[in-house]
Amino acid sequence: MAKSTSKDAQALIQSLRSAYAATPTNLKIIDLYVVFAIFTALIQVVYMAIVGSFPFNAFLSGVLSCTGTAVLAVCLRIQVNKENKEFKDLPPERAFADFVLCNLVLHLVIMNFLG
């Protein structure tokens, strides 16, 4: 039972990896970026858990900056993905321009909140 479970898990991961290998490179870059942002946010949360939330606005800025940019990156990924028929007419350059603009606005707010 235990053996078969580990085998199943291995087979599952194997199939996942093979399926993921088929994704285009630009989408992989975005995924990597999202993972990077999430991990940075996680480290800050751990730090907060260890030493306390003072100064709270700095902590919020840091975490929101990471999650915000991760969300934006996910949005970019949705728009760029060619399999999403919904955004077929939208060129990826336009989506990237939106991503850059939203990031700049987000970080202006973050910097203001950082104090």
Q: Which residues bind another protein (CB under 8 A)?
A: 25, 28-29, 32-33, 35-37, 39-40, 43-44, 46-47, 50-52, 54-55, 91-94, 96-97, 100, 104, 107-108, 111-112, 114
Whose Cβ is closer to another protein: residue 7's or residue 20's?
A: 20
CB of 6 to another protein, least distance (A): 26
Contact present, 34 and 68 (Cβ < 8 Å): no
Contact present, 72 and 102 (Cβ < 8 Å): yes
Contact present, 67 and 37 (Cβ < 8 Å): yes
